[in-house]
Structure 1
Amino acid sequence: MNLSYWEIKSWLTNVDYTIVGSGIVGLNCALRLKQRFPKANILILEKGTLPQGASTKNAGFACFGSLSEIIDDLKSHSEEEVFQLVQKRINGLQLLRNTLGDSNINYQQFGGYELFSTSDDLLEECKAQNDYINSFLKPLFHQDVFRFKPNSFGFENCQDTLSVNQFEGQIDTGKMMMSLLQLVSNSGIKILNNITVEDVSEDSTSVKVKTHQFEFITSKLLIATNGFASALNISEVKPARAQVLITKPIKNLHIKGTFHLDQGYYYFRNIDDRILFGGGRNLDFKAEETTELSLTERIQNKLEALLKTTILPKTPFEIDHRWSGIMGVGKQKKPIVTQLSNHVYCGVRLGGMGIAIGSLVGKELADLV
């Protein structure tokens, strides 16, 4: 593409910081850079028309982990690592709320609930570990986080007991991203959409960025592409597709809160009198390790079956819409926020906790330079 003199001069000349990815991490990174360097020329490149990965496609859970997820994390991470993970999620959520304001993201703390299948012993394990986990988290919350209560929602084919997390909340994902984009625009930060970064090379003073449309020079490059990070040679991050569906509005829908099932591999909530329901990548981890924003019959059928048999067993419903998003995961849940070379940095691998830690990872990424 042949750019005009004006386009090159106004958008692609004397660029101080270029951020790849306009999701929650990239936008927060840009805001923090502008706060630190008010006169800096900051450019964000986004390969989608809208943020392409998970930032505009998630379920809007303001959570830091269900009881069974935290217990499971302790099997593969040290106590200190898990404690720091939960602390980061709490701090990240608070930063998000402070940055945008609760009304601008429709933050509501209705609590989180975990359902337990009748086909395994997960509930018994959670009951056995509950006091220990509450004690473990007490320095962060100063009171018990998890407790058990009877299932009063009418869910079927699951245990009669639910785990309740009083501190879990929910947001409107679309409002969050529109508020962030507005804040970035008002700060004089430029965003170019539908631009794919194909290659990056650097010399002693700068980075040359090659996109599918043009090339330009930037002083520093910050990668915030999370699930798409492997395309820019960050091999520690694997894509993880999350498939979602939403029903048409349902009359007298008395489900309030955020809900987890099967160690968080399934999750659902009420939004605008609809059930938003996602998950199921544990049915085929390998197939869902993809950056393709498509759907599979196997997972969509499973989501519908669980809606019929467990979540809405006595309520007729119709599916209104389906979509998928791409998360970034790895062997460890700790985000990768690091300097890759002289002038290239990254903040990736959010582990499905983008709402919780995205703001904080963006800030930490900006603070590396």
Structure 2
Amino acid sequence: MELSYWELKNWFTNVDYTIVGSGIVGLHTALRLRERFPEAKILVLEKGMLPQGASTKNAGFACFGSISEIMEDLKTHTEEDVVQLIEKRWQGLQLLRKRLGDNVIDFRPHGGYELFLKEDESGFNECISKIPFINEVLKPIFKAEVFTKEIDRFGFENIQEYLIFNPFEAQIDTGNMMQELLKQAVAANILILNQQTVTSYTDAGNHVEVILNDFSFNSKKLLFATNGFAESLTNGAVRPARAQVLITKPIEGLDIKGTFHLDRGYYYFRNIGNRILLGGGRNLDFAAENTSEFGQTKIIQNKLENLLINVILPHQNFQIEHWWSGIMGIGNSKNPIVTQLSENVFCGVRLGGMGVAIGSLIGTELADLI
């Protein structure tokens, strides 16, 4: 890369903080650093044309976990851990709303629902029986009952008679959210460079040498907010997980409003106006979906189409308009990793598929490590 004197002077000289990743976490980190250090030079590097992982590719769920997901987490985490995680997700959502404003992100509090397929009678019965226990555990956070049983009024088919409703869930517009975060970052004099891949770095004690493909520069501190792409940073404690998503063309007379979960969070759908967005299915082939490559697979495409035809939109004509995928960061634990890697290098990663909820808080915690 041949850089001019001006480019070197304005972008790559006397850099105080370099953040890798311009998604929800990266931009919240940058904005929090700006609050704390008004005069600092802050540079954000992003390897994609747009934030590459999941920040512009997620389904726009303002949620903190369906009841079957929470119960699944209780099998591998302590009750205290699970409650703390839910509290962090809830705090993160409030932080996001406060920073960006409900109008800007098109916040729609339609509530969330969990469906159970006809064949999942045991899972359904277990969740129904555990509603009082889960509500009791979550009462200190929400000061109200979170989960209740409701009859299906949406015309779904091949499911159990009742849905489990959660009034605290909402929808947001993912594109608006990221656009507003980028606007705020630019307004706060934060420099953002796209299509820049950090290939390695060296912590030299009094600064970090940041190495791009064919160029390097020095930064006082280096902060990684690369979530699903943080495997090598964390010795495998974070693994990439691909999520495949589709959206239909507009459907006349669509009467589905809200966010919907199915099968322990592995499937999720919502309306966007009179369209349906549906994603998930990585549990059909974990090995293939633990990848940082974007793309679709036939097994998951077929399953998602099957759910539309037989469960979500039975007896309705619809057409799929578009497919895409995003890369999440997961691990054996759902607890995020916010830590110091060396004297001047830090990371905030492993959002466990809950980036919309927890990303703003993790970005703030990452900046506060400095």
Instruction: Give the TM-score normalised by the residue count of structure 1.
Output: 0.99
Q: Residue 234 and residue 183 in structure 1: after superposition, are their counterparts in 2 closer, same or farther (change >3 A)? A: farther
Deviation at 1:233, TM superposition (A): 5.0
Distance 2:234 2:136 in 1: 41
Distance 2:211 2:95 in 1: 33
Deviating more after overlay: 358-367 vs 115-124: 115-124
Question: Equivalent residue for 2:356?
Answer: 355
Counting only pairs closer than 5 Å after superposition, residues 261-340 of structure 1 correspond to structure 2 as 261-340=262-341
Counting only pairs closer than 5 Å after superposition, residues 184-195 of structure 1 correspond to structure 2 as 184-195=185-196
Classify the secondary structure of the residue corresponding to 2:117. coil
Counting only pairs closer than 5 Å after superposition, residues 14-29 of structure 1 correspond to structure 2 as 14-29=14-29
Counting only pairs closer than 5 Å after superposition, residues 34-45 of structure 1 correspond to structure 2 as 34-45=34-45
- For residues 274-330 of structure 1, what are the alpha-carbon distances to aligned partners after superposition, in whole Å with 9 as ceiling and x for unaligned? 000000000001100000011111111111111001000111100100000000000
Deviation at 1:213, TM superposition (A): 3.9
Q: Residue 217 and residue 361 in structure 1: after superposition, are their counterparts in 2 closer, same or farther (change >3 A)? A: same
- For residues 335-356 of structure 1, what are the alpha-carbon distances to aligned partners after superposition, in whole Å with 9 as ceiling and x for unaligned? 0000010000000000000000
Report the residue type matching 1:98 in the other structure. K
Classify the secondary structure of the residue corresponding to 1:197. coil
Instruction: Give the TM-score normalised by the residue count of structure 2.
Output: 0.99
Classify the secondary structure of the residue corresponding to 2:148. strand
Question: Equivalent residue for 2:211?
Answer: 210
Question: Equivalent residue for 2:80?
Answer: 80
**Contact 1:338/1:347 (CA < 8 Å) preserved in 2?**
yes
- For residues 41-74 of structure 1, what are the alpha-carbon distances to aligned partners after superposition, in whole Å with 9 as ceiling and x for unaligned? 0000000000000000000000000011111111
Distance 2:254 2:107 in 1: 20
Distance 2:232 2:185 in 1: 26
Distance 2:74 2:264 in 1: 13
Counting only pairs closer than 5 Å after superposition, residues 149-168 of structure 1 correspond to structure 2 as 149-168=150-169
Question: Equivalent residue for 2:182?
Answer: 181
Deviation at 1:231, TM superposition (A): 4.3
Distance 1:343 1:357 in 2: 24
Question: Equivalent residue for 1:50?
Answer: 50
Counting only pairs closer than 5 Å after superposition, residues 245-256 of structure 1 correspond to structure 2 as 245-256=246-257
Distance 1:203 1:263 in 2: 45
**Contact 1:247/1:321 (CA < 8 Å) preserved in 2?**
yes
Deviation at 1:234, TM superposition (A): 4.4
Runs of 4 or more off by more than 4 Å in structure 1? none
**Contact 1:195/1:213 (CA < 8 Å) preserved in 2?**
no
Unmatched tracts of structure 1, length 5 or more: none
Q: Percent identity?
A: 62
Question: Equivalent residue for 1:170?
Answer: 171
Question: Equivalent residue for 2:260?
Answer: 259
Report the residue type matching 1:27 in the other structure. L
Report the residue type matching 1:59 in the other structure. A
Question: Equivalent residue for 1:67?
Answer: 67
Deviating more after overlay: 206-215 vs 191-200: 206-215
Unmatched tracts of structure 2, length 5 or more: none
Number of residue pairs matched?
Answer: 369
Distance 2:59 2:215 in 1: 35
Deviating more after overlay: 297-306 vs 186-195: 297-306
- For residues 249-298 of structure 1, what are the alpha-carbon distances to aligned partners after superposition, in whole Å with 9 as ceiling and x for unaligned? 01111100000011110000000310000000000011000000111111
Question: Equivalent residue for 1:90?
Answer: 90
Distance 2:213 2:112 in 1: 43
Question: Equivalent residue for 1:101?
Answer: 101
Deviation at 1:152, TM superposition (A): 1.1
- For residues 83-110 of structure 1, what are the alpha-carbon distances to aligned partners after superposition, in whole Å with 9 as ceiling and x for unaligned? 1000000000000000000001001110
Question: Equivalent residue for 1:111?
Answer: 111
Distance 1:70 1:306 in 2: 23
Distance 2:226 2:205 in 1: 24
1:127 maps to 2:147: no
